[in-house]
Chain A
Amino acid sequence: MSDIIDILISASFWAAVIRIATPLIFATMGELICERAGVLNLGIEGIMVIGAFTGWMAVYQGMPLWGGVATAMAAGMLFGLLHSTLTVPFGLSQHVVGLGVTLLATATASFAYRLMLPEVTSPPKIEPFQPLDLPVLSDLPFLGEAIFQQTALTWAAFAVAALTAFTLYRTPLGLALRAAGENPAAVEAQGLSVTALRMGAVIVGSGLMALGGAFLTLSAFSSFFFEMVNGRGWVCVALVVFGAWKPGKAVLGAILFAAFDALQIRLQQTDLGAVLPYQLFLAAPYILSILALILMSRRAEVPAALMLPYNKGER
């Protein structure tokens, strides 16, 4: 017990929490935008992989870090375009297409990796984003290390979350997106294109998912591994449910989740870690996600038209 308290009062723990939460926030916002417009995007896992790969490869090939970020986002949006073309105007099963996109994106990353680096045994490292040195804030005792020594991408993640919330609830565009997820016929009757809104949401959302992946290579690990996303995308799908499709709650969910993840990593080094198999700690995030889904199952207000394709000719 005292181990846990020691961990919780250490500044490095909270710095890790925010770091671990960053890719989850990006991808969760991306998924949330898709789902608020009525499209479940199960391409998320693969799109995170492609984001991680393209961002890293672009930088490895000589682009600046922000160029890598832009490349990752563009790659994610391309897969978002594929996903939304099949699920929106053609109205194909969002489950099947989403899994197909995940398989395709993952395979594309693996194929391109082997093609571009046929010989290497361990992937090369790049020079990643460095923590920003904020005047005054970064030098605060405890808080400085716990919160204010993060990379620009982390700050961008929180900015994206704020922007998502603002857009959804305070602008005509957000109203239209939410309406598309509630009743597409209402959107069409007011002269807006459901197809354009939903496709746009999926494309932008996929871009954000790819950013989540890019954070892993450009900020967290400085390199690309095949299994690095490792189910984070599916966790984010659960986080959207946990956050009841609301950006603020979803961010809190991501932080809570990251806290448990950071905690389990540190607990492995304590006496508890010596007793319990380490696999149990590694499984904790997935178990936690399932518990979150169970907890929220009856409470959340699901967008009414989620997963329902809209074909305006249907009578």
Chain B
Amino acid sequence: MTQAQAKAEVVLRLDLITKSFGPLRANDAISLTLRRGEVVALLGENGAGKTTLMNILFGHYVADSGEVDVFGQPLPPGQPRAALKAGVGMVHQHFTLAGNLTVLDNITLGTESLWSRGRGRAVARAKVEALARDFGLVVDPMAKVSRLTVGERQRVEILKALYRDAKILILDEPTAVLTPQEAEALFATLRKATALGLSVIFISHKLHEVMAIADRCLVLRHGRVVGEVDTHATDKARLAALMVGGELTLPKAEAKVAGPMLMELQSVSTPDRGPAPGLKAVSLALRAGQITGLAGVSGNGQAALADLMSGLAQPASGTLALNGAPVTQWSPRTAVAQGIGRIPEDRHHTGSIADFDLTENAVLEGYRSRFSKAGWMNWPAARAFAEGIIATYDVRCPGPATRIRLLSGGNMQKLILGRALAPGPQIILANQPVRGLDIGAIAYVQSQLIAARDRGAAILLISEDLDEIMGLSDVLHVMSQGRLSPAFPRGSMSAPEIGLWMAGQGFTEGRHAA
């Protein structure tokens, strides 16, 4: 902290904020001070309570106790409107934009009295364009949001806050969805903002970003502040130890010799779905004993590839071959029958059925082939199978009759992992397998994937987290606009180089030589 900042006025003060959800204490007496022109990072792993704290500040939640002061005035709890009025702007991790409306409509939404006639779009548009210029946030105000890239959407989110003359910007995991270059541009915007007197709270679990942008850093663990440090006076290792609470390192995948090709896509294309691109003549080989990583900004065709591999979509052209034989019949059921273990991107909406118990969720894929006879369910066998998964995969739960919605994200993921891995699949699709999990669960899931690779499975790992991809993959591809890059062997590319591919550079029109 510089001398000037130390003297700068306090713009925001959180005082002993406490919030519980049922038995879980998400925030435990957290205090925070933010000064004018300062960037404070909230660092912590998933589930540490960062987002909850900011949702309280912004009025989405009401704290059980504690107070929020903005510019010396107490903020009434539970009113986003009051927070906005006091000059707090929030960029949510999951963007809050209406896709069918224009950028301008999204920005002006709620800024004028609902009972007024509105002041006309020309004025609003001029203001948006001026802000975009000043802060380096280029985006077409008249474009429909559903047509924008993820990076552009984030710019709209920031413009929303600036349009309301926000003095305090909260950014929740803003770089999670960006390319390294886009993240740099974001940092440039934030530096401009702080130079103009804005203050920023930057939520992240990525140490290098915190070190790069923040002046000060508050470390949260299990809902408590476990440290407050000046970023100029610390290093990554110390921050990491604070964040995790000891030495817990993620598993490292040692390089191995790849085996035969188990799954092959030859020039496969699938149709676009709305603004989401389909596959564009994608050729890909998954080999036994190898983790193939797929990097890319979300919404660039990863979902199309995952749908294809899990059986939800069929190739419109090109061929999909398993063990050298092209498949003709292709559905989720045949995919499971052909020995593909699938971990879906969204464990809540596609991976599990919230009000089903663990037994029912465990047999969701195998109920027909393994746990029934002539149309009659074999519930004792199903229960035994679920108990086996619970024991083998360390699912912490009261028992197989528990509804899965009551489990934590990590335990839910372990059950899904067990369901996919228990039959010993030769091919595994792992789509965002650790997103939103705490570090213990991340380490567990990753070690299971590595173990599966080591016994000879071919794994496709899809993730938006470049660090994760680079750490685990034996070979990696980048996707952009439905196109697939050539295969890059482990260690052959730096993060910025991959970032350029993620942004769509390097792709030649048409096909690549593999």
Contact = CB atoms under 8 A, between A and B. Distances in A.
Contact of A188 (B80, B82, B97, B111): B80
Contact of A190 (B82, B110, B115): B110
Contact of A175 (B85, B108, B115): B108
B437 to A, nearest CB: 15
Given A172-B114, A313-B61, A189 B100 contact: no
Q: What secondary structure prevails in chain B residues at the interface with A?
A: loop
B117 A175 contact: no
Contact of B106 (A186, A191, A192, A313): A186
Interface stretch (A144-152, A176-184, A203-211, A223-231): A176-184
B115 A173 contact: yes
A191 B80 contact: yes
Contacts of B81: 191-192
**Chain A: interface residue count, which band?**
20 to 34
Given A179-B109, A191-B81, A171 B96 contact: no
Given A172-B116, A176-B110, A188 B105 contact: no
A301 interface: yes
Given A179-B98, A191-B84, A312 B60 contact: yes
B90 interface: yes
Contacts, number: 82
Given A179-B98, A313-B61, A187 B110 contact: yes
Interface in B84-129: 84-85, 90, 92, 94, 96-101, 105-106, 108-118
Contacts of A312: 60
Contacts of A313: 61
Contact of A171 (B61, B111, B118): B118
B60 A175 contact: no
Nearest to A182: B98
Given A173-B115, A312-B60, A313-B61, A187 B100 contact: no
B477 interface: no
A190 B101 contact: no
B118 A170 contact: yes
Contact of A172 (B100, B106, B113): B113
Interface in B357-394: none
B287 interface: no
B512 to A, nearest CB: 35
- Greatest chain A CB density within 10 A among B61, B84, B96 is at B96
Contacts of A176: 109-110, 114
A192 B110 contact: yes
A304 interface: yes
A171 B117 contact: yes
7 contacts: A171-B116, A185-B96, A188-B60, A189-B80, A190-B96, A301-B100, A304-B98
B58 to A, nearest CB: 8
